[in-house]
A and B are shown apart, each in its own frame.
Chain A
Amino acid sequence: MNGRITTLNRLQRGIVPLVLLAVFALSPLVLKQYALILLTNTFMYIILAVSWSMFSGPTGYISLAPAAFFGAGVYTSAVLGFALPFPLIVITGGLASFCMAFLVGALTLRLRGIYFVMFTFGLVELLLNFVLWWEVTVTGTTGRVVPPLGNTTVFYFMLAILACLLLTAFRLKHSKYGFALQSIGQGEEAAAHTGIHVTALKMNTFALSAFFMGAAGVVMATRWTYIDPRIAFNPTLSFLPVLMAIFGGLGQLYGPIIGAAIFTYLEEFLITRFPYHYMLIFGITMVIAIRYLPDGLVGLVQKAWKQWSRRKHGAAQG
């Protein structure tokens, strides 16, 4: 009896994501090119925001490295270009970022607070300048051409990465390792003395999150078709996902999804309406949102819901 109920619950929980996946999978049939590109963009930001929050949410280590891992994917795409079947390039790019994050993690995850933030951001600048130097002095080029794939193909690859990421993030969050990550954020010393291999868990999770950022970079590069180091390692791609995730709320998996979706559209809207001041308006909106929404949008809604249901309950009693 009990078993049947939980199976049913599981099916019910699984149905919503599956329906959404089906809807998105069919959407290229009806969407215009512009809408499809916008949706792909949104997926990219969701991937960055969710994979960022997969590590930084529970542990409280604020990483500003997304642009570095994304950029590693972009360059993998440009270097491998025609050499491999595209799905293999996506995986290679992901693995490149995974390995890089693992090494960076080994060096930096002992740092706490602002030092970790600064080092991870320094990594973006370091890579940018290293690749710039390499391209100029070794290969003698400034930019590279990436073979284009077509908007629909790009969309499907982005959707596939997003689906894998969400499944991974969900399973991680509800596993013992998900709780161990939270315990690290709430008391790293106590976590270590409770038997948690804190360093390994942090490094692996940091690397896993970088895998998805790198994979997204590989796919996005094919849409840009021409890339150079400044496009690939754009610091904005470190800041935006972090702000989006915090704006949406880190407590729930759908927080960063909602945050990224809203801000991608907001950015698009502002760019078309206020082409000259959009960055300013965008930034101010972000700052205000984060200042007044400590638990993000999802936290705000949850609080409002609790108050409302309490009031309803109270009214029914009185």
Chain B
Amino acid sequence: MALLKGEKVTRYFGGLAAVFDVSFEVQQGEALGLIGPNGAGKTTLFNLISAALTPRPGAIYFKGRKITGLSPYRICRMGVARTFQTVKVFPDLPVLTNVMLGASFGASPGLSWGDAAEEASEILEFVELSAVRDTPAGELTLANQKRLEVARALATRPDLLLLDEIMEGLNPTEIARSMELIRSIRGRGVTIIMIEHVMKAIMNLCDRIMVLHHGSKLAEGTPGEIAASDEVIRVYLGERAHAGS
């Protein structure tokens, strides 16, 4: 049984189909890359999976259970955690408290505030943010805020982690560290879907890649298959090669 399954997932904004008739499956332990031009509907698909938005029509199943229509907090507690493309840390709260909230509310069963502190410390160690644990989250660099979002998501003990462009705006060193982090998260047995424009990261980290274009699924396959697909090169990879990235 697939860990996550989407059936003809669709979402319109006014007349625009941001996501149209997309069906997909993600297996336990897999890392799926989600790529496509800006505006292709990648973030919207994350919003649909994490219940920030409801698919209309369409249905999403997690661990075999239909999760369409549930609230975001329920989906988080069931084991789906996410980060945000535009970072959304709790800026005035210390880094440690940001992560403690995940452990105390998002995990199931939720940890007591004291146990949450212990768990959060461990996670900060894991993502290498221990040095700034008492700093207000809003004062961190962008790279560290993105790491903090990953830490907060991990604290909810997810089975599935949705990473929305956590390498966007980072320098090459930071990107390398970020790739290392994703590898070690996979090592913990967490299933990952990642949206990323950094092709090196996608090609190296993912077992499978899904390409969205104008809201629809354009292609799906192993990194090798995707890199060799004429259609993908035409609408996405080629365009990026032209832009020099």
Interface residues of A (CB under 8 A from B): 175-176, 179-180, 182-183, 186-187, 189-199
Contact = CB atoms under 8 A, between A and B. Distances in A.
A198 B72 CA distance: 10
22 contacts: A176-B105, A179-B97, A179-B100, A179-B101, A182-B90, A183-B90, A183-B101, A186-B91, A189-B84, A193-B50, A193-B52, A194-B76, A194-B101, A194-B102, A194-B106, A194-B153, A194-B156, A195-B105, A195-B107, A195-B156, A196-B101, A197-B105
B72 A192 contact: yes
A192 B71 contact: yes
B73 A187 contact: no
B92 interface: yes
Contacts, number: 78
A223 B5 CA distance: 65
A195 B92 contact: no
Interface in B108-124: 108, 110, 112-113, 116
Nearest to B84: A190
Given A194-B101, A194-B105, A196-B101, A176 B90 contact: no
Interface string B103-147: 011111010110010000000000000000000000000000000
Interface of B: 50, 52, 71-73, 76-77, 81-82, 84, 88-93, 97-98, 100-102, 104-108, 110, 112-113, 116, 152-153, 156
A174 to B, nearest CB: 9
Given A176-B116, A182-B92, A195-B101, 12 more contacts: A176-B105, A179-B93, A182-B90, A183-B93, A183-B101, A186-B92, A187-B88, A190-B89, A190-B90, A192-B76, A194-B105, A198-B73
Nearest to A184: B90
A-B pairs, 6 with minimum CB distance? A195-B106, A190-B88, A195-B105, A195-B76, A192-B72, A186-B90
A193 B81 CA distance: 7
Contacts of A176: 100-101, 104-105, 112-113, 116
Given A186-B91, A190-B90, A195 B102 contact: yes
Nearest to A188: B88
Main secondary structure, interface of A, reads helix
Contacts of A187: 88-91
A198 B101 CA distance: 12
A14 B28 CA distance: 52
Considering residues B93, B100, B112, which has the most beta carbons from chain A within 10 angstroms of its beta carbon? B93
Considering residues A175, A193, A198, A199, which has the most beta carbons from chain B within 10 angstroms of its beta carbon? A193
B113 A175 contact: yes
Given A175-B113, A179-B100, A189-B52, A196 B105 contact: yes
Given A175-B113, A176-B113, A179-B100, A194 B93 contact: no
Contacts of A180: 101, 104-105
A182 B89 CA distance: 12
Nearest to A175: B113
Given A176-B116, A192-B73, A182 B93 contact: yes
B86 to A, nearest CB: 11
A280 to B, nearest CB: 36
Contact of B88 (A179, A189, A197, A199): A189
B137 to A, nearest CB: 9
A182 B108 CA distance: 21
A164 B100 CA distance: 28
Contacts of A194: 76, 101-102, 105-106, 152-153, 156
A182 B116 CA distance: 17
A204 to B, nearest CB: 14
A79 B97 CA distance: 47
Contact of A196 (B73, B81, B93): B73
B89 A195 contact: no
Considering residues A175, A180, A182, A183, which has the most beta carbons from chain B within 10 angstroms of its beta carbon? A183
Contacts of B152: 194
